[in-house]
Amino acid sequence: MSQQRPVAVSGAIWVLVAVVVTSGVTALLTLVFGDELDDAWAAGRTDLGSVEPPAFAPVAITMFVVVGVLVIVLLQFLQQGHNWARVLLSALVVLMAIATLASLRADPPMLFLALSVVGLSLDLTAAVLLWHPDTRAFTRSAPEGAGRS
């Protein structure tokens, strides 16, 4: 494809890579600080004897792997100008933001709050870049058979 990639598309790619890296750091820290997460979750609960603390690490690792693989695959299609990849990446960013907000219900330690703020900022930035007029024009002007054999 001879079309030049706009700055907004390149920015979206880098921000989405940063989303994956942030997710990876969060998953790693969930393993390292699992006891602190359990303690933060248990603090102030009245139903502690009847409710087990959630398993944070398996969820964080699974989410990191799934999101990482999806982003890598979808970015390949976005670079080729496929509009459906832009839409799916947007949906993925929204789901990541919802998951981040949901994780805040567990009243995580300050380090995880800071990562959540960074993650939400990256999600918002990615969404803005994915729906930027230049990105939309890039994905809509790509030839229908671009990148397909």
Res. 143 pLDDT band, cuts 50 70 90: low
Write the pLDDT tens digit of every residue in 59-110: 899 999 999 999 999 999 999 999 999 999 999 999 999 999 988 887 888 9
Quote the pLDDT of residue 7: 96
Q: What Å distances lie between residue 114 and 1, 56, 109, 117, 132, CA to CA?
A: 41, 17, 9, 5, 27
Quote the pLDDT of residue 144: 55
Of 41 and 67, more confident? 67
Quote the pLDDT of residue 37: 85
**Distance, CA of 71 to CA of 80 (rounded, Å):** 14
From the number of C-beta atoms within 10 Å of its C-beta (0-12, 13-18, 19+), residue 96 rates as buried
Mean pLDDT check: name the lowest of 34-38, 78-82, 145-149. Answer: 145-149
Extents of the domains making up the chain: 7-140
Provide, rounded to the nearest whole percent, the portion of the chain with pLDDT above 90: 67
**Distance, CA of 35 to CA of 58 (rounded, Å):** 14
**Distance, CA of 56 to CA of 41 (rounded, Å):** 10
Residues 27-56, mean pLDDT to the nearest whole number: 83
19 close to 71: Cβ distance less than 8 angstroms: yes
**Distance, CA of 134 to CA of 40 (rounded, Å):** 44
